[in-house]
Amino acid sequence: MATIVRKKEGESANSLIYRFVKRVQQSGVLRESKKRRFTHRRPNSTKIKRSRLYKLERTASIERARRLGAF
């Protein structure tokens, strides 16, 4: 959503910037963007399953090596 602020006749640049900042804060654009900044998408189910299988295989191989005395 675009916020448009036009300069009034005889208005200084500082007051124009002040009006713009005030309008942006009132619109809630910054608050919404800061809220969404660190949200992450959930990984898909295939990726979760693969990571679980990898972990199971890795722990099994470490356990096997531990039994054989490698660790």
For residue 3, the model assigns a pLDDT of 83
pLDDT in tens, 59-68: 999 999 999 9
Question: Is the distance from CB of 71 to CB of 65 less than 8 angstroms?
Answer: yes
pLDDT in tens, 9-30: 999 999 999 999 999 999 988 8
Question: Is the distance from CB of 20 to CB of 6 less than 8 angstroms?
Answer: no
Structure tokens at 60: 């099994």
pLDDT band at residue 70 using 50, 70 and 90 as cut-offs: confident
Least Cα distance to 8 among 22, 24, 20, 26 occurs for 20
